[in-house]
Chains A and B, each alone.
Chain A
């Protein structure tokens, strides 16, 4: 049987999704189900004096309306300390526009919307802190006065590296903004709950159903075995659906109170203020280097936006930026530190890359700056600073060890795909011809962190561990069912895990079904985030399959009257090595596995479970190139080519791996050129629909040219590193480097994302004019 690992098998998931048979939460219809919707704060910072739901209750079709006061002991959404917790429904203070202040429950979503419109709130406005600068200014208004500051968490610079920076022959500074983004999965947040006499069932568009169940159990005081959480088809998550949302608790409590199932799905306008935001980081960088472009010292001071409540991951994300700040490079002295800062904005949490894109962006911009200052070619600067292939595993400045990599090889592969010299010649010719747009080349050689992670580290993040679980069982007819603890939201796990299991078990791909996203059907799992499903989940699947195979081999051996060690399995058949005519097919083994009369002393049954706890993280990497044209008159940037070489170690399904890269790169290009969550000085969000928040369409994006290299990881036996977040980590700087490169002859050194046509035009004016 040809190995399926490494094959571009088409997805099992697709027929349902293509024919409109997806099971997204809002498709759920249960008898007597009610619709729940939130009334939300219209003030960015205010005392909430009162919330009056009486008019809402009079709206026809509205069954109930509640504020926090209606749920004594309502658990909070969490936070790093009791005084800093985010309430599930606002109590006396609101800290961002969109913060829930009441829920309305109605027989249909139309009545619920009318009910929400009728809720009245009395606000006493407080001074608004709309930005990081405002939050850190002397005398800034405080979101939590008792804290005495808006800095909610920090790791100061261990030392300032001033000696090393001063000693370097050359030195430069860079101030980079990694702007606030909205994850905006196509499916907004949705949750439903049915609290019956004994069991609570919750449907949640989430990334970690077991975690949701365990947390609900703790918050609601209901034993976990009486709670079932189902993540059905989830329409994208990107990290934001790993956060904790008020719907989860409130749908359950409202269902219990009213004795009916309750469903809530936010509108897109709500989603753009209620779902956690990503990025919102500013990096102040000092770099010391020599005339040959070797980087000698790097100091990074990170200011991380947290939003109105420190309840998401934002307080910890900059730690990941710190870890990855040196990128692919061996830099003798690296120091980093951060401040996590509250502002009256939507809370920030993980978003595709979660702290690592920020790190990759900053170091790749630094590298181009060093190239610009020294006159050394930016590719040569990279080569001179790369961690060499023989130095792996490489211990980084902060301790984590890069598992494997060959950055020179990825770059060399990239250069096979572009004619670098010809592009530079073309750039020069275009520069000299006023009738032609300016041409720019931007590179991004990146490394990112995946396969989260070793349990010691994950316990530190409040999780049970960093393992992942898989169970495999064979039905009497030979059909295989895998239950995995990961929880996909588009990644194609059913296909990918079937490929791995098929190779181990030697059963056809079509005879394997994968079950996930249901705590009643799947053993304890950790979930999907941090590019872990392949390296950790895949390894668990492989091990569970191997354990299952052991039992099956034992049974086959019994049937064949041979020793298990003398058997091999291939193409659905167990045979005695060297005697191919002595064999038994999988279905016969499966059937006999449940017939004690056929098994001698062997216990009936054919199932196995495994949990894989990785000893290390994985570090996917790659080399991307972006070729842009810049309109000299309007400043518009057009991406002419985007070439990506990625190294995720062993590739399970090349077509799906490419899909992850293209989707991630699309998000990265969107960050570079289109998207930004904007707030006014009064804390009012300005990008509240997809007409203002510019998610690009196919018309805005280029065709991608993709290549790959393979440096397997020792972190698991598959050699697989994961790839889900690589594209979003690599792309923004490839694009920005390209535009800066196009304008560098005008003296432009930096451009802030999103690099809008107006920003480019202004840079061309300020730095020497368009022609």
Chain B
């Protein structure tokens, strides 16, 4: 219930945050909405010596038309995404998925940047960003760099961000009214997905990414390839779990997760053609 004590620093800018991370190295973690980090700290599963609070960087909270993409500031909260008219028009998959994260109270605090940087394969938004083929923008001591979503998620709780980098923006292609689907299978409404599917058609190609089917969000690559070769939705869904490494835990065995992945991909694809 009570986190271990830590030192606290507030960053007044991204540059300051980067500098503080560089100063404290492995001892420091960023604090945005806190709804990935604080639960771990309250159970003393995580005990960073320093928290660098970037929660007040109001200019990292935005959903903007970036021309050929939608640009989302890393501190945009799930609630902001859920209620964004721009996303409803241009990337409805994200708008919908953001509305499924946790519960309303969590969505009032949790941020897209925090969720992506936390790199929990059981979270919804990493798979969404992967399915959309988004780009993550990070600021570090050497300046800014862009990381493709496919390269961003390295392993469980491990992203491509260096310890002294701050995720500042997420760029998603404008997919408009092209078919999409999001299937989240959880025990209770507030729970993480046992398995989830994010799917998006974009200019004839369908991206399908899976939640909680491995140490990172993972593309259902064989299913995508089958679709590209003209396979039916049912046939593509039948191979949706190939190349995955689903966990076994209290909620489900690996076998059941594989089965669910196939079922949910089939449902997602049916939604997209129906």
Asked if A109 lies at the interface with its beta carbon under 8 angstroms from chain B, I say yes
Interface of B is mostly: loop
Contact of B43 among A269, A634, A674, A694 (CB under 8 A): A269
Chain B residues in 8 Å Cβ range of A110 = 2
Contact of B5 among A114, A678, A687, A761 (CB under 8 A): A114
CA distance A268 to B104 in the complex (A): 22
Asked if A267 lies at the interface with its beta carbon under 8 angstroms from chain B, I say yes
Known A-B contacts A109-B2, A113-B2; the reply to A691 vs B260 at CB < 8 A is no
B185 touches A634 (CB 8 A): yes
B248-262: which residues lie under 8 A (CB-CB) from chain A? 250-253, 256, 259-260
B208-259: which residues lie under 8 A (CB-CB) from chain A? 250-253, 256, 259
B2 touches A691 (CB 8 A): no
Instruction: Look across to chain B and name the residue whose beta carbon is closest to the beta carbon of A700.
Output: B188
B1-37: which residues lie under 8 A (CB-CB) from chain A? 1-2, 4-5
Chain B residues in 8 Å Cβ range of A758 = 252-253, 256
Measured CB to CB, the closest approach of chain B to A678, in angstroms, equals: 6
CA distance A110 to B44 in the complex (A): 13
B4 touches A114 (CB 8 A): yes
Known A-B contacts A114-B5, A633-B263; the reply to A674 vs B250 at CB < 8 A is no
Chain B residues in 8 Å Cβ range of A761 = 256, 259
A254-298: which residues lie under 8 A (CB-CB) from chain B? 267-269
CA distance A686 to B263 in the complex (A): 28
Total residues of chain B contacting the partner, CB 8 A = 20
A719-771: which residues lie under 8 A (CB-CB) from chain B? 756-758, 761-762
Measured CB to CB, the closest approach of chain A to B63, in angstroms, equals: 27
Instruction: Look across to chain B and name the residue whose beta carbon is closest to the beta carbon of A678.
Output: B250
CA distance A109 to B42 in the complex (A): 13
Asked if B189 lies at the interface with its beta carbon under 8 angstroms from chain A, I say yes
Chain A residues in 8 Å Cβ range of B260 = 634
Chain A residues in 8 Å Cβ range of B263 = 633-634
Measured CB to CB, the closest approach of chain B to A673, in angstroms, equals: 9
Measured CB to CB, the closest approach of chain B to A633, in angstroms, equals: 4
Chain B residues in 8 Å Cβ range of A674 = 187-188
A686-737: which residues lie under 8 A (CB-CB) from chain B? 686-687, 689, 691-692, 694, 696-697, 699-700
Chain B residues in 8 Å Cβ range of A117 = 4, 44
CA distance A752 to B5 in the complex (A): 44
CA distance A411 to B263 in the complex (A): 40
Asked if B190 lies at the interface with its beta carbon under 8 angstroms from chain A, I say yes
B44 touches A694 (CB 8 A): no
CA distance A619 to B251 in the complex (A): 38
CA distance A586 to B12 in the complex (A): 71
A269 touches B1 (CB 8 A): yes
A687 touches B185 (CB 8 A): no
Instruction: Look across to chain B and name the residue whose beta carbon is closest to the beta carbon of A692.
Output: B250
B177-207: CB near A (< 8 Å → 1, else 0) gives: 0000000010111110000000000000000
B1 touches A696 (CB 8 A): no
Measured CB to CB, the closest approach of chain A to B237, in angstroms, equals: 11
Instruction: Look across to chain A and name the residue whose beta carbon is closest to the beta carbon of B256.
Output: A758
CA distance A308 to B57 in the complex (A): 52
Measured CB to CB, the closest approach of chain B to A146, in angstroms, equals: 36
CA distance A699 to B44 in the complex (A): 30
CA distance A634 to B195 in the complex (A): 11
Measured CB to CB, the closest approach of chain B to A443, in angstroms, equals: 26
Chain B residues in 8 Å Cβ range of A691 = 191
Chain A residues in 8 Å Cβ range of B4 = 114, 117
A697 touches B188 (CB 8 A): yes
Instruction: Look across to chain A and name the residue whose beta carbon is closest to the beta carbon of B188.
Output: A700
Measured CB to CB, the closest approach of chain A to B40, in angstroms, equals: 12
CA distance A739 to B44 in the complex (A): 40
CA distance A633 to B263 in the complex (A): 7
Measured CB to CB, the closest approach of chain B to A80, in angstroms, equals: 34
3 A-B pairs with least C-beta separation: A699-B189, A113-B2, A267-B1
Contacts A696-B188, A758-B253 known; list 6 others, CB within 8 Å: A109-B2, A674-B188, A686-B250, A694-B187, A699-B188, A761-B259
